[in-house]
């Protein structure tokens, strides 16, 4: 069982898993800078292509 007081008050990092907000579990791979930037650019291009197909030009 998690011991949250020990974690947050006693700073015992092994007592429980710290709450991490809405992004918990969403990171499944650590990317290097090139992979991160390339992924961002590819995502932008996909969104922009979809935008153009919906609204022309």
Domain ranges of the chain: 28-57
- Could you read off the pLDDT of 5-47 as tens digits, one per residue? 887 888 888 887 777 666 666 777 889 999 999 999 999 999 9
DSSP the chain: ---HHHHHTS--TTSSPPP-GGGTTT------HHHHHHHHHHHHHHHHHHHHHHH--
Take residue 7 and report the two structure tokens written for it: 């974690």
Q: Reduced to 3 states, what is the DSSP secondary structure of residue 21?
A: helix
Which pLDDT belongs to residue 23? 63
Contact 13, 7 (CB under 8 A): yes
Whether this model's pTM surpasses 0.75: no
């Amino acid at each position: 069982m998690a011991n949250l007081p020990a974690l947050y008050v006693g700073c015992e990092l092994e007592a429980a898993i710290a709450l991490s907000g809405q992004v918990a579990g969403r990171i499944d791979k650590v990317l290097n800078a090139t992979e991160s930037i390339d992924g961002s650019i590819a995502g932008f291009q996909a969104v922009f292509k979809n935008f153009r197909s919906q609204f022309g030009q």
